[in-house]
Every structure is written in C-alpha cells, then in structure tokens.
Amino acid sequence: MASINGTVVLISLPAIFRGIGIDPLTSFQYLLWILFGYSIVTATLLVTFGRISDMYGRVRLYNLGFAIFTAGSILLYLTPNGGDTGALELIFFRIVQGIGAAFLFANSAAIITDAFPHNERGKALGINQVAALAGSLLGLTLGGVLAGIDWRFVFLVSVPVGLVGTGWSYLKLKELARIRKDQKLDMFGNATFGLGLTLVLIAVTYGLVPYGSATMGWGDPWVTLGLAAGVALLIAFLFIERRAADPMFRLDLFKVRMFSAANLAGVMGSIGRGGVMIMLIILLQGIWLPLHGYSYSSTPFWAGIYMLPMMAGFIVMGPVSGWLSDKYGARGFATLGMVIGALAFIALSFLPYNFDYPTFALVLFVMGIGSGMFAAPNTASIMNSVPAEHRGAASGMTTTLQNTGQTVSLALFFTVIISALASNLPSAFTTALTNAGAPQLAPAFSSIPPTGALFAAFLGYNPMASILADPRLAGVLSSIPQSATTLLEGNSFFPNAIAPAFMSALQLSFYIGAALSLAGAVASVFRGSRYIHELEQQEGRKAGEKEAVAARAPTSTASAPAPPVPGGIEALDSGERKGDPRESTSAE
C-alpha cells in the first residue's frame, strides 16, 4: 500500500490538478512537491523512526504507521478546497501519508528479520520486496484506472486496505525483539540528520525548476545555500554520532565489511535505476505511444501497462534469488543481478525511439530479473550482519540510503535530459516547423522551456495544443494554412520533433546507469562470503547445544530434574566454552 502511493500520483496528476482547478504547466512547484514530497519525508524520517522502534517496539510503531497512513489517505480524499489552497492541502496530507509510510518502511525488514532464522531470511525478504516493487508498478496502473473515474478515488483506494491492515497488524503481529527502554533518544543527532537531509533533497528538487532565463535552477542562490547547509549539517551529524552515548545510528556498523559493501552496492543501484522508470515513462508517453495512435490523454494509463514486464521479472526472480542466497550466500547472486542490470541498460541504449515493443518488453523483463536477483540477497546480508537490537536503525538507514539514491538519480537524469533538450530543442523545432510549412512559429518555439514540453507529455497533455493555444500566437496562426495547424496538433509532430534530442540524452543516461550498476557489482564482490553477526552465531550454537543436551538426557523420569552435566547447559549459559577464546561472558 505504501509503495502504491509512492507512484500512483505519477499517472493521476493530470486528473488531480484538473480536479482542484490548477494548471500543472504553470504551477511547477506544486507539481514537484506532490511528486517528491512523499519520498522526501519518508527518506528523512526512516533512520529516526528505525531507532525509536528499536527502543519502544518495532511492531508497535509499525502498527502506528498503518494508522497514520490511513488517516492521511482519508484526509487526501476529503481535500476540501481547490486552487492554490487545495494544492497546499494535498501537499500537507501527502506529508502525513509519508510519515505513516516511514514507520512501515523502517520496520518491515527488521520485523521479518526477527521472525525468521538467518537461513530463511533471503526468501522472506524477497517476498517482502516483491510486494514493494509490485506496489510501485501497480500504482502506475491503478492511478490511470481510478483517475479516469474520480481523482479522489486515487487516495480513497488506500483506506479500506489501511483499515484492514491496521486491525490485522494490531491483532496478529507480535513483538519478537527485546525492547531497549533504557536507552535515550539522540536529539541532536536526529535534528542534524533530519534537517540536513531535508535541505539537500529540497535543494536537489528545486534544482530542476527553471530559474530566471536558465532552464534549470542549479544557479539559484537558494539551491546553492540549501545544498551547502544540508551537507554541513550531515557532516556535523557524523561528529555528533561519534560522541553520543546512545547514537541514532551506530557508525561502527560500517566497520563490518558485509554491511558497508552491501549498502554501497544498494546506493549505486538506486542511483543507477531510480530515475529509469520516469525516464522510460516519459519516452512512452511523449514519443512512442502517440506515434502508435494513442491519444495524449490516455498515455498515462497505457504507459503503466507497458511497464509491467519489469514487475514480472522482479516477481519471478525476487523470492527465488532470496531462497538461493539462503543456501549458497548472497555475494554471487547480488553481483550477477547488478551485472544483468548493466547489460539491460546497454541494450536499451541501442533501441530507436520508434522501437518494436516485444524487444522493449524483453529488455524490461531482463532488467526486472536483475533487480530481483540483487534486492533480496543484498537486504538479507545487511540484516544478517547487524545485532538484533540495532535492526530497526539498520533497516531505516538502508532504506534511507536507497530513497536518497533514487532522488539523486531523478535529479541526475533530469539534469542530463533537460540540458540536452535546452541546447538541441530550438534547432529541432525550427527544422520540424519549416518542414511542416509553419516557419513563422519558429521564434515562438525557440523560447519554450524544455521542462514545460517534457512535463506536458508526461502529464498527458498534447504539448502542441497547449503551446498553440497561447493568445499571443493568434496573429501568427492566422497566416498558417489549416492543414499545417492540423499537422502540428496531431500525434506525430511533437514526438518526431523532440525524439532525436531526447534520445541522445536518454542514451547518455543509460550509459550512466550501466556504469553505476557495474560499480555496484564491484562493491557487491567486496562484501565477502556469507556472514552472520557474531551474537546471532553464539545464540544459534547455544540453542543447538541445548537441544543436543536435551536429546541425551534420560526420558524415564518425567518430573525429576536432570542432574548437572559438566560443560553442559549451565556452562553454556555462563559463557564458559573451552577451546573458543572468542566467546566470553562479556561478549554474550
């Protein structure tokens, strides 16, 4: 449910903005906040909520997250106002949803890790991650279906799921981890990390907004200041954590090679793949679907449908790779998954903009296979490498790094594509307009911001119809033959005009994604062989030795206590194990 709501607005934004009476092409800041506000909130709160959950109970706060998320969904459905006020209400209610989602994301992997032994976690976490990715891709389809009925249903669909989920989790989930109420909350660490990461993510988001005459906002002083202040706070966070009595996140966990290498591989994968979904959706909506006869208003829905092969690949491989990694270790499967992802990027770079869909679907399926092969083994190795009492914080940090990587990926890929369009789009439009018999329009089109053209197609608008509706062009349009106007407003003019510039930038993005995936594969190799945290190994050995002692004990005396066994349970519980100097009373 939380994953569905991360992507459901991608497809339903046109209907949402029409419902509240806002033109998204002139309200770019609202568009960005409704798109990214949810992920920014979850990214900044995950580590804090994971640490709090370690102290007060993971199941308790997971259940609270369900309730908060459901409340946010109800508020979104009831959004009372329209216009700018309605847009601000939507943003605020999405933030409420994001708070609830952060509780869910921060604790799900930790709860599953608590519930399964280390030799079954890969399969369990694989199923969990299939649910997460399936939700992300299902959101694309649901958004198109529900928005066609009523934009409020986009948010209402979560309410029955949230109500049932809240009741079910309160009734069925049991707290398996030991609650550490003796620890204090690291207020300074939480404040510096949350504020620093928020400033960085907001600055990155506004870097995509045009500033003055520039096509992007990287030259905006506020963006520069936000980045600088955010990075400074994150650096201060590292020093604060080293001195805190009960740190929000134990940086010494990064001394464990498995933990640090697996997280680095995950970040590389998130940056490489995070922006791919939106880039491919823009390719489908702005170019391929119109060229194949789909109306612009229907492209959001069909783009979600045509992306389903990626979900199918992940669903096929996710649990299988988790199960195999339980038996043979995570390194080989996670590394191979990253290599497959890199090869899929290379394959995408060879496709023309008017590709054959079966080939495109096959590449998407292979990319899903690679993602599924990597995700579960990588997460299982991270969770296996930390002590049980820090699993909530570790899960929160891992998810934070991945969410931050996805936001950085969006900024990176959008910057590459918008920069390429800014330099190539004016000449491309001039050539296309001349060939269409309307060279008079070339000066007007040379000033079109690439973000406007790009997001018009992304939001299901006919970009040419929106541009030609400008009253300032009325005089010029009167001198153009009607046949030329009809051609300009048709489905083929805009895709053919924008495709060469867009595809050259998209190919560069694919190369960057391939390079980052290969870097993640290298990091994955250096994680080492199978690793289970020492304390969990000790607990497993103790349990096995107790079972062995119980099996050797006589069964004829039902009620009499068994006589002490030298070196048996009593010695094991006191930690006195001969021949193994690593295991001491203090360690246990």
Question: 551 and 404 in contact (C-beta within 8 Å)?
Answer: no
- Nearest-angstrom CA–CA distance, 152 and 192: 36
- Nearest-angstrom CA–CA distance, 365 and 464: 33
Indicate the burial class of 183 (C-beta count within 10 angstroms; 0-12, 13-18, 19 or more).
middle
Q: Give the 3-state secondary structure of residue 438.
A: coil
Question: 63 and 170 in contact (C-beta within 8 Å)?
Answer: yes
- Nearest-angstrom CA–CA distance, 396 and 134: 21
Q: Give the 3-state secondary structure of residue 81.
A: coil
Question: 458 and 450 in contact (C-beta within 8 Å)?
Answer: no
477-507: string of b/e by CB count within 10 Å (b at 16+)?
Answer: beebeeebbebbbebebbbbbbbebbbebbb
DSSP string across 547-573: HHHHHHS-SS-SSSPPPP-TTSHHHHH
- Nearest-angstrom CA–CA distance, 571 and 504: 69
Helices 121-147 + 357-384 axis angle, to 10: 140
Dihedral Cα 339, 345, 347, 353, nearest 10 deg: 170
Question: 178 and 382 in contact (C-beta within 8 Å)?
Answer: no
CATH superfamily of 2-185+246-420+498-525: MFS general substrate transporter like domains (1.20.1250.20)
Helices 450-458 + 276-283 axis angle, to 10: 80
In sequence order, the 6+-apart residues with CB closer than 8 A to the CB of 556 are none
Q: What is the pLDDT along the chain (588 residues), one digit of tens a residue?
A: 777 776 777 777 777 888 888 776 666 677 777 777 787 788 778 878 887 887 888 888 888 988 899 999 999 999 888 888 888 899 899 889 889 988 888 888 888 888 888 778 888 887 887 777 777 767 767 777 787 788 888 888 888 888 888 888 888 888 876 666 666 777 787 788 888 888 887 888 788 777 777 777 888 898 899 999 989 998 998 888 888 777 777 777 788 888 888 889 988 988 888 777 778 888 888 889 988 988 877 787 788 788 889 888 888 888 888 888 888 888 888 899 999 999 999 999 999 999 999 999 999 999 999 988 898 888 888 888 888 777 777 777 787 788 788 778 877 888 888 887 777 777 888 888 888 887 877 776 766 666 666 666 666 667 777 677 767 676 777 778 778 778 887 888 888 888 888 888 888 889 999 999 999 999 988 886 655 555 455 544 555 555 555 555 554 444 444 444 333 333 333 333 333 333 333 333
In sequence order, the 6+-apart residues with CB closer than 8 A to the CB of 356 are none
- What would the two tokens of residue 89 be? 């209400």
DSSP string across 138-173: HHHHHHHHHHTT-TTHHHHTHHHHHHHHHHHHHHH-
